[in-house]
């Protein structure tokens, strides 16, 4: 993840004057998004359960055209969420974009997931996303007649063994995205989701099993995992005026993994000449 004071992709000042809320802004995709928004001139308000990582993000923003401030917040706490958005509006007067990046899950066989473990993932990924989205809409977007919500979900969409709780939760968020895009279009609110594949975040590299980290690139047609900046660039695009006609969309960003498992052609199917092996032509 680059920490340049200027964007590598977009023009200077693209998001100047915008107020952007990013949940889970202390690490990974959330931090990359907060930094890119600040590079583009936005006022970024980050939140997360732990304040120390948010303070680290604030240090990286120093010297950028935009600004970053943060508050500790558990997005599952409805009263805390309401107070958080009230504070943002009191300080800045408006909110232009909400990025629902906070979430969480753990690898486990389905039969080993306890009721408490399942509820925890559901509450964080569905209830938390809903509380943030609803508060942003009712307190800011509907009164000001405009705003955008960008929610990060997961790819692939063809089932995720070991992640049944998270797969169910993220599917719910994608349906929520489509439904709210229709219901709230009359208020000028846009809602999109980005289904993220495997990205080289600190959490993935350092907390997932070594066997998965070292082999997952072989499941992706492009032959590599994504970089956090690549997610941040897409979110910045959707938050800008260039994204104004995107609503109700679920955009998959995963190097083609949603469409095919592994490289093409598979080893042994096509020879060096480009022709199928002789046994396959019989």
Which domains can be identified in the chain, with CATH numbers? Answer: 19-281 (3.40.50.720)
Contact status, residue 16 vs residue 40, Cβ threshold 8 Å: yes
- pLDDT at position 16 is 98
- Give the span between the Cα atoms of 132 and 102, in whole angstroms: 10
Q: Indicate the pTM of the whole model.
A: 0.92
- Give the span between the Cα atoms of 277 and 271, in whole angstroms: 6
- Give residue-wise pLDDT tens across range 127-177: 999 999 999 999 999 999 999 999 999 999 988 898 999 999 999 999 999
pLDDT per residue of the chain (282 residues) written in tens, 0 to 9: 446 899 999 999 999 999 999 999 999 999 999 999 999 999 999 999 999 999 999 999 999 999 999 999 999 999 999 999 999 999 999 999 999 999 888 889 999 999 999 999 999 999 999 999 999 999 999 999 999 999 999 999 988 898 999 999 999 999 999 999 999 999 999 999 999 999 987 777 766 778 888 888 999 999 999 999 999 999 999 999 999 999 999 999 999 999 999 999 987 776 555 555 555 444
Helices (H) and strands (E) in the chain, counts: 11, 7
Q: 76: alpha, beta or left, given left = phi > 0 and alpha = psi -120 to 50?
A: alpha
Is the peptide bond between 101 and the residue preceding it cis, with omega within 30 degrees of 0?
no
């Amino acid at each position: 993840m680059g920490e340049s004071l200027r964007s590598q992709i977009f023009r200077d000042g693209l998001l100047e004057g915008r107020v952007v809320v990013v949940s889970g802004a202390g690490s990974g995709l959330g931090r990359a998004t907060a930094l890119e928004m600040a590079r583009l001139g936005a006022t970024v308000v980050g939140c997360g359960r732990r304040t120390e990582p948010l303070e680290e993000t604030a240090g990286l923003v120093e010297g950028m055209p935009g600004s970053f401030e943060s508050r500790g917040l558990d997005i599952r706490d409805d009263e805390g969420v309401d107070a958080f958005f009230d504070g943002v509006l009191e300080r800045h007067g408006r909110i232009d974009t909400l990025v629902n990046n906070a979430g969480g899950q753990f690898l486990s066989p389905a039969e080993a997931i306890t009721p408490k473990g399942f509820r925890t993932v559901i509450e964080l990924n569905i209830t938390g996303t809903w509380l943030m989205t609803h508060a942003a809409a009712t307190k800011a977007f509907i009164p000001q007649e405009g705003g955008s919500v960008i929610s990060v979900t997961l790819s692939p969409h063809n089932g995720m063994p070991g992640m049944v709780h998270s797969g169910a939760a993220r599917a719910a968020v994608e349906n929520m995205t489509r439904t709210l895009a229709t219901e709230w279009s009359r208020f000028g609110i846009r809602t999109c989701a980005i289904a993220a594949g495997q990205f080289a975040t600190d959490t993935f590299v350092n907390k997932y099993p070594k066997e998965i980290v070292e082999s997952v690139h072989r499941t992706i047609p492009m032959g590599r995992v994504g970089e956090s900046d690549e997610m941040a660039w897409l979110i910045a695009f959707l938050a800008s005026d260039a994204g104004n006609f995107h609503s109700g969309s679920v955009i998959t960003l995963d190097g083609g993994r949603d469409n095919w498992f592994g490289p093409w052609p598979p080893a042994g199917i096509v020879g060096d000449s480009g022709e199928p092996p002789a046994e396959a032509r019989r």
